[in-house]
């Protein structure tokens, strides 16, 4: 049983938080399509059991998508402060910088983005009810 589990690997991540800046839509170097990138802040809360003090920590993740639908969704529905729910995988990017130094980063490549609301409409009657999903919830499950 343990051997079969050791042969199985999975790369799946789920995050929910607030978008840190307006999405950047860029043209691919090949000229054949666009991609989108934006940061997401994910907050973690806990209480110190000894002191009762409440604590929080914010982690930032970079979202990068080459999926034409997610690029278009990001362009139409996502802005700084938007609340989003993202399912995807971790992806390592490598490149050489202007000083010829090898660089790398770990980013999230989404398979699904659900827009839960945005700061722009919090004061309106629509509130946080701006929900739109790419609808790919089960496409990447390894079953």
| pTM (2 d.p.) | 0.74
* Under 8 Å between Cβ of 126 and 116: no
Task: Tell whether 5 is covered by a domain.
Answer: no
What confidence score (pLDDT) does residue 123 get? 41
24: domain CATH number is 2.40.50.140
Mean pLDDT of 14-41: 94
| Higher-scoring residue by pLDDT: 29, 4 | 29
Range of the domain at 38: 12-133
Task: Tell whether 2 is covered by a domain.
Answer: no
What confidence score (pLDDT) does residue 142 get? 47
Task: Tell whether 4 is covered by a domain.
Answer: no
Task: Tell whether 100 is covered by a domain.
Answer: yes
Q: Tell me the pLDDT band of 66, cut-offs 50, 70 and 90.
A: very high
Query: What is the number of domains present in the chain?
Result: 1
What confidence score (pLDDT) does residue 42 get? 96
- For strands 13-19 and 102-117, give the pairing: unpaired
* pLDDT for residue 143 is more than 70: no
* Residues 109/110/111/114 CA torsion (nearest 10 deg): 180
Task: Tell whether 127 is covered by a domain.
Answer: yes
């Amino acid at each position: 049983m343990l051997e079969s589990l050791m042969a199985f690997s999975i790369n799946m991540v789920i995050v929910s938080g607030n978008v840190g800046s307006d999405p950047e839509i860029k043209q691919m170097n090949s000229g054949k399509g666009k991609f989108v990138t934006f940061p997401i802040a994910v907050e973690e809360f806990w209480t110190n059991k000894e002191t009762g003090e409440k604590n929080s920590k914010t982690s930032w993740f970079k979202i990068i998508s080459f999926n034409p639908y997610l690029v278009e969704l990001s362009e139409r529905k996502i802005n700084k402060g938007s609340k989003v729910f993202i399912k995807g995988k971790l992806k390592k990017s490598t490149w050489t910088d202007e000083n010829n130094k090898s660089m790398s980063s770990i980013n999230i490549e989404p398979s699904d983005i659900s827009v839960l609301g945005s700061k722009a409409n919090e004061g309106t009657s629509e509130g946080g009810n701006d929900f739109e999903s790419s609808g790919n919830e089960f496409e990447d499950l390894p079953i």
